[in-house]
Amino acid sequence: MESSKNGFLRVWNFDSKELLLKIKTEYNNIFNFCEWDNNFIFFTCEENNSIILINLFDNKTITKLTGKNNNFYFIQKIKHPEYGDCLISQGKGLNNIMIWGANLSDSSKNF
């Protein structure tokens, strides 16, 4: 998978080098991304200093996460022993590491 400054996320077959999926988002300056599951992807967006969650099948934004960080440069999904699936993030420089909890069941998509 790759991100771009022109708002595209691309999914490639590593072995065949075939482009499997090209997603045009409404955002530019996408830097980091993290697959949440087979339906959702998080990515960082420098233009509005946020983390965006989109649905892979209709490219619609589910939610935007903002925090104390001026830019989010790192995101990763983790399995927390108490909170379950979470997203961690860190911003540029001395910004704090943040943990985000989620409830992304089919009936509720609240972060």
* pLDDT the model gives residue 42: 92
Task: Please indicate, yes or no, if residue 76 is contained in any of the structural domains.
Answer: yes
Each residue of 5-28: pLDDT tens digit? Answer: 888 888 899 999 999 888 888 888
Q: What CATH number is attached to the domain comprising 30?
A: 2.40.10
Look up the domain containing 97 and give its range. 2-101
Report the candidate in 56, 52, 21, 25 with the shortest Cα–Cα distance to residue 38. Answer: 56
> How much of the chain, in percent, has pLDDT values that exceed 90?
19
CA distance linking residue 3 with residue 10, whole number of Å = 7
Give the burial class of 65: count Cβ atoms within 10 A of its Cβ; 0-12 exposed, 13-18 middle, 19 or more buried.
Answer: middle
Check pLDDT > 80 for residue 81: yes
Check pLDDT > 70 for residue 109: no
The pLDDT-based confidence of 58 (bands split at 50, 70, 90) is confident
Task: Please indicate, yes or no, if residue 92 is contained in any of the structural domains.
Answer: yes
